[in-house]
């Protein structure tokens, strides 16, 4: 009967979202996902799918099976999600009912069933769960939670079973579910620790021996977890993190210091989940340290006090303490420095399993059974209505975009989606202010990426500098696209003069933005990516034909592509401006060397190498190191050794060209010369 009741309530609460279309990431990751389209129920296809999605393989397999059965129909995808949610609530009821009768809780069967029932009911109708359930692609959150509950349920049954074949079978099923769960999602890495706590709290009744054993086991798993994490990161965690944070608007440190605020904000949503507070794309202020802003320290202190209370009162308030530890423990992994969004509501799905138990348990502890049941029934009714109300938004793509843009007006993604929707819906009067806001946000985004690129470049991390410059360049392209839409929208509603002024403003801003990422051209050519470098340089020169740095880079590109005539023209034009003379002379020396004109080459190289001490032109040297290393021309590579401090001046009586061309260094010297550039640029042009 409990299952039928949960099924009826769950379907009613989510009925308003079921007819809705694919929204946001559902489109590329489900509807248009080529891996799902190509899936067939065969072992080879399953292996291919898992290899293509190593992060959430089992959830991807579930989506692929759904696609195979009913095709790209959002109704059936969403109905499957609701079904998973209902089963999770039902098995949670069974798990909690069993848990509350264990020695660690010691409740009678009737009270345990009442508390478990209302905890599962609140979990089912909690409005904050709508993102995890109605957002189809978030099946990667709800499916692992279902297997987590089943794993713990089978584990408890195995621990309580008499020895024999049944006990072994239950342990085997729990083991399979455990592997499935831990391998499904990042936050499930906390499950081994939480399972040990559960065993200690409720099955072993927190005996001294069990506490010591549990702490030792947790320490061992922690060390194993750290080793596994380092292995995934190729034992270079900082490089791994930095590379993945390139596409985000914050650094690993900023994410870590912002998480206390994010966690408490999520908990406030759980406590008061009114639809007006729920958002598919939260915008949360960044914290640069625990004291910037000072409130960051307060949020961290609140969390620390909650955890301290749970640890100190573990024996006296067993159930409540475990619920608190489960809550923060299951949030810990995704509240670390992992390259994820700062705050998303679906992160609460797993923590709320026992958070709902805390609500129900406290109600029945401090109120009579009738009073507690009445209060929880009212709470469930209100939450059911709010869930149904919130699902109206998830069932309408346009309403969802508007909701996100209104609630996160300074976040680029939701505002851009809403501005696009208004423009292509021909709601031009509304689109104009939205598109104008987008341009301001893109300028801010571009500025942040340039600042991080310059910082990486200063620190010598040229690869990450290049990635940040690429993001800044992308921002300029999107700025131009949305700027064109803004001008078109203005003209549609008769704002001709404003459109003309905005056209000039956008052109000027694009030139300024392009000038700031011009260093990307040099970084690309230094990695052997000539075509990409050329495109960047031509963009910069389009706005500023007198940008000699980009022209010098364009000359180097032409040498790489074998267009020596054009390269000479560019380098000579750079020399006429008397800027970047060392780089231009070095480039001309390479051009003449390729043509076989040894005398002219040596003359230019001699001038260039002397000028390296007078201007900041050292960045040009790796370009030619890479060039000669790729062509394996050690004689030409030797020409560049003359700028080394260890290289003597030409002996008296020798011509410069003869000396420069007579380098006969051995392999060890050549390797020592190239070593500082192997990692940054790579001899094959790839990192």
> Which tokens go with 259?
């998480």
646 and 574 in a common domain: yes
Query: Which of 143-152, 326-335, 600-609 has the least mean pLDDT?
Result: 600-609
End-to-end CA distance of the chain: 60
Q: How far apart are CA 260 and CA 272, in angstroms?
A: 18
Structure tokens at 468: 């940040």
Buried b (16+ CB within 10 A) or exposed e, 239-256: bbbbbebbeebbbbebbb
- List pLDDT tens digits, range 496-545: 999 999 999 998 998 889 888 888 887 787 677 888 888 888 888 888 88
Does 480 share its domain with 425? yes
Q: What is the pLDDT of residue 621?
A: 47
Q: Can you give the pLDDT at residue 232?
A: 67
Flag whether pLDDT at 675 surpasses 50: no
* Residue 403 pLDDT level (bands cut at 50, 70, 90): very high
For the record, the structure tokens of 295 come out as 């409130």
Residue 100, pLDDT score: 93
> In terms of residue numbers, what domain contains 331?
2-206+248-397
Q: At residue 620, does pLDDT exceed 70?
A: no
Asked if residue 314 has pLDDT above 70, the reply is yes
- Say yes or no to pLDDT of 650 above 50: no
Asked if residue 473 belongs to a domain, the reply is yes
pLDDT at 190: 81
Q: List, for residues 62-96, the tens digit of each pLDDT value.
A: 888 888 888 889 999 999 999 999 999 999 999 99
| Measured distance CA(643)–CA(618) in Å, rounded | 10
For residue 603, the surrounding DSSP H or E stretch is helix 598-611
User: Do 495 and 551 have their domain in common?
Assistant: no
332 CB-near residues (< 8 Å, 6+ apart): 190
Would you state the pLDDT for residue 594? 79
Q: Are residues 510 and 525 located together in one domain of the fold?
A: no
Sort 165 into a burial class: Cβ within 10 Å, 0-12 / 13-18 / 19+.
exposed
103-112, 151-160, 469-478, 658-667: least confident range: 658-667
| Token reading at 583 | 């780089």
d(CA 107, CA 73) in angstroms, rounded, equals: 46
Point out the least confidently predicted range of 179-188, 204-213, 239-248, 675-684.
675-684
> Which residue has 């949960």 as its token pair?
6
H/E run at residue 244: helix 237-245
Give the C-alpha separation, 100 to 389, whole Å: 33
Structure tokens at 243: 């590379």
Name which of 602, 582, 575 is nearest 591 in CA terms: 602
| 455 within some domain | yes
Domain boundary among the residues 470, 489, 516 is at 516
φ/ψ (deg, to 5) at 292: -135, 90
- What is the pLDDT, as a whole number, of residue 103? 83
Is 333 in contact with 186 (CB distance < 8 Å)?
yes
The model's confidence at residue 678, banded by pLDDT at 50, 70 and 90, is: very low
3-state secondary structure of 24: coil
Q: State how many domains the chain has.
A: 3
Instruction: Write out the DSSP string of 628-682.
Output: HHHHT-HHHHHHGGGGSTTSPPPPTT--HHHHHTT----HHHHHHHHHHHHTTT-
Q: What value does the mean pLDDT of the chain take?
A: 82
- Distance (Å, whole) CA 95 – CA 120: 10
Which range is most confident: 44-48, 106-110, 244-248, 399-403?
A: 399-403
Give the whole-angstrom CA distance, residue 514 versus residue 473.
7
Would you say residue 10 has pLDDT above 80? yes
Report, in angstroms and rounded to the nearest whole number, the Rg of the chain calculated over CA atoms.
31
Lowest-pLDDT choice from 283-287, 586-590, 609-613, 652-656 = 652-656
Domain match, 572 and 600 both? yes
What is the C-alpha separation between 169 and 3, in angstroms, rounded?
25
In a domain, 290, yes or no: yes
Are 581 and 671 within one domain?
A: yes
**Which pLDDT value is given to residue 164?**
76
Domain finish residue from 466, 501, 516: 516
User: CA 579 to CA 614: how far, in whole Å?
Assistant: 12
Query: Within 13 Å, how many C-alpha atoms sit on residue 546's CB side?
Result: 4
Q: Rounded distance, CA 360 to CA 100, Å?
A: 12
Do 528 and 381 fall into the same domain? no
Are 564 and 598 found together in one domain? yes
My answer on whether 503 and 581 are in the same domain is no
Q: Is the pLDDT of residue 407 over 50?
A: yes
Q: pLDDT band at residue 203, thresholds of 50, 70 and 90?
A: confident
Residues 355-393 have pLDDT tens digits of 999 999 999 999 999 999 999 999 999 999 999 999 999
Q: Please state, in angstroms and rounded to a whole number, the distance separating the CA atoms of residues 554 and 531.
A: 10
Q: Which residue has the tokens 């060209």?
A: 657
| Res 225: pLDDT | 66
Other residues' Cβ atoms within 10 Å of the Cβ of residue 676: 12
Number of H helices, E strands in the chain: 33, 0
Helix axes 519-526, 462-492, angle to 10 degrees: 130
pLDDT higher than 70, residue 686: no
- Hey, is 292 helix, strand or coil? strand
* pLDDT at residue 277 greater than cutoff 60: yes
Residues 168 and 51 in one domain: yes
Q: What is the pLDDT of residue 659?
A: 31
How many residues in total does the chain contain? Answer: 687
Domain end marker among 458, 490, 516 = 516
Q: Give me the percent of the chain exceeding a pLDDT of 90.
A: 42
> CB-based burial of residue 459 (10 Å sphere; 0-12 exposed, 13-18 middle, 19+ buried)?
exposed
Alpha-carbon gap, residue 112 to 106, rounded angstroms: 9
Strand partners, 292: 289
pLDDT of residue 487: 94
Exposed, middle or buried: residue 547 (CB in 10 Å: 0-12, 13-18, 19+)? Answer: buried
Q: Are residues 437 and 297 in the same domain?
A: no
When mean pLDDT is compared across 145-159, 296-310, 507-521, 633-647, the lowest value belongs to 633-647
Render pLDDT for 172-199 as a digit per residue (tens, 0 to 9): 998 888 888 877 777 777 888 888 888 8
**Domain assignment of residue 235, yes or no:** no
Does a structural domain hold residue 212? no
Prediction pTM value: 0.81
The pLDDT-based confidence of 54 (bands split at 50, 70, 90) is low
Integer Cα distance of 186 and 574 in angstroms:
52
Q: What are phi and psi of 281, to 5 degrees?
A: -145, 80
The CA distance from 155 to 175, in Å, is: 8
Degrees to nearest 5, angle at CA 640 with 638 and 643: 125
Say what the pLDDT of residue 162 is.
Answer: 79
Q: What is the pLDDT of residue 24?
A: 85
- The CATH number of residue 641's host domain is 1.25.40.10
Q: Directed axis angle between helix 519-526 and helix 530-543, to 10°? A: 160
Of the candidates 72, 75, 50, 77, the one whose C-alpha atom is nearest the C-alpha of residue 61 is 50
8 A C-beta contact, residue 184 and residue 143: yes
> 3-state class of 289 per DSSP?
strand
Tell me which H or E stretch contains 155. Answer: helix 139-160
Nearest Cα neighbor of 410 from 282, 287, 505 is: 282
Average pLDDT over every residue of 17-41: 87
The yes-or-no verdict on residue 563 having pLDDT over 70 is: yes
C-alpha span between 99 and 360 (Å, rounded): 14
Residue 160 lies in a domain: yes
227: in domain = no
Same domain, 433 and 304: no
pLDDT, residue 611, reads: 65
Report yes or no on 182 lying in a domain: yes
Residue 289: phi, psi to the nearest 5? -165, 180
Tokens (6 digits) for 330? 């299951």
- The three-class DSSP label of residue 614 is coil
| Cis ω for the linkage preceding 293 (within 30 of 0) | yes
Residues 102 and 159 sit within 8 Å (Cβ to Cβ): no
């Amino acid at each position: 009967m409990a299952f039928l009741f949960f099924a009826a309530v769950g379907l009613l609460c989510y009925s308003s979202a079921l007819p809705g279309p694919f929204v946001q990431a559902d489109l590329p990751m489900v509807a248009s996902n080529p891996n799902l389209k190509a899936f067939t129920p065969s072992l080879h296809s399953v292996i291919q799918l898992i290899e293509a999605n190593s992060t959430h393989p089992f959830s991807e397999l579930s989506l692929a099976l759904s696609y195979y059965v009913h095709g790209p129909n959002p109704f059936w995808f969403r109905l499957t999600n609701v079904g998973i949610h209902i089963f999770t609530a039902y098995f949670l009821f069974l798990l909690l009912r069993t848990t509350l009768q264990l020695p660690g809780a010691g409740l009678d069967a009737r009270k345990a069933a009442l508390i478990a029932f209302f905890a599962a009911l609140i979990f089912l109708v909690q409005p904050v769960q709508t993102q995890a359930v109605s957002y189809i692609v978030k099946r990667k959150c709800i499916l692992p939670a279902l297997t987590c509950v089943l794993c713990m349920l089978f584990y408890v049954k195995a621990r309580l079973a008499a020895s024999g074949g049944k006990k072994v079978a239950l342990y085997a099923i729990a083991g399979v579910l455990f592997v499935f769960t831990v391998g499904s999602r990042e936050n499930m890495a906390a499950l081994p620790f939480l399972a040990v706590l559960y065993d200690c709290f409720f099955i072993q009744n927190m005996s001294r021996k069990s506490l010591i054993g549990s702490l030792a086991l947790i320490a061992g798993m922690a060390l194993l977890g750290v080793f596994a994490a380092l292995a995934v990161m190729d034992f270079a965690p900082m490089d791994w993190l930095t590379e993945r944070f390139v596409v985000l608007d914050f650094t690993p440190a900023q994410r870590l210091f912002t998480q206390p605020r994010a966690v408490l904000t999520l908990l406030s949503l759980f406590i008061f989940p009114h639809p007006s507070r729920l958002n598919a794309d939260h915008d949360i202020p960044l914290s640069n340290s625990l004291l910037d802003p000072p409130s960051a320290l307060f949020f961290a202190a609140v969390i620390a006090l909650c955890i301290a209370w749970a640890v100190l009162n573990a024996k006296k308030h067993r159930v409540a303490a475990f619920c608190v530890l489960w809550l923060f423990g299951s949030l810990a992994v995704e509240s670390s420095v992992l390259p994820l969004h700062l705050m998303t509501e679906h992160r609460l799905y797993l923590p709320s399993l026992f958070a709902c138990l805390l609500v129900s348990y406290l109600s029945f502890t401090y109120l009579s059974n009738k009073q507690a049941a009445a209060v929880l029934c009212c709470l469930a009714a209100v939450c059911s209505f709010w869930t149904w109300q919130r699902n109206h938004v998830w069932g309408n793509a346009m309403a969802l975009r508007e909701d996100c843009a209104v609630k996160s007006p300074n976040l680029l993604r939701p505002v851009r989606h809403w501005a696009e929707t208004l423009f292509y819906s021909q709601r031009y009067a509304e689109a104009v202010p939205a598109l104008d806001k987008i341009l301001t946000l893109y300028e801010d985004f571009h500025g942040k990426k340039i600042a991080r690129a310059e910082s990486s470049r200063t620190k010598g991390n040229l690869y990450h500098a290049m990635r940040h410059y690429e993001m800044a360049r992308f921002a300029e392209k999107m700025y131009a696209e949305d700027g064109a839409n803004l001008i078109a929208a203005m003209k549609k509603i008769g704002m001709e003069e404003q459109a003309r002024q905005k056209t000039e403003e956008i052109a000027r801003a694009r030139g300024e933005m392009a000038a700031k990422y011009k260093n990307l051209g040099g970084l690309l050519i230094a990695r052997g990516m000539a075509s990409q470098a050329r495109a960047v340089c031509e963009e910069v020169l389009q706005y500023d034909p007198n940008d000699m740095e980009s022209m010098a880079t364009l000359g180097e590109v032409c040498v790489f592509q074998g267009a020596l005539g054009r390269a000479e023209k560019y380098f000579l034009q750079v020399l006429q401006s008397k800027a970047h003379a060392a780089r231009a002379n070095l480039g001309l020396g390479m051009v003449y060397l390729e043509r076989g004109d040894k005398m002219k080459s040596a003359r230019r190289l001699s001038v260039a190498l002397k000028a390296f001490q007078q201007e900041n032109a050292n960045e040009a040297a790796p370009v030619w190191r890479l060039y000669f290393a790729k062509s394996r021309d050690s004689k030409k590579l030797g020409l560049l050794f003359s700028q080394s401090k260890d290289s003597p001046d030409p002996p008296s009586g020798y011509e410069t060209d003869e000396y420069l061309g007579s380098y006969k260094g051995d392999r060890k010297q050549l390797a020592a010369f190239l070593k500082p550039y192997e990692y940054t640029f790579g001899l094959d042009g790839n990192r």
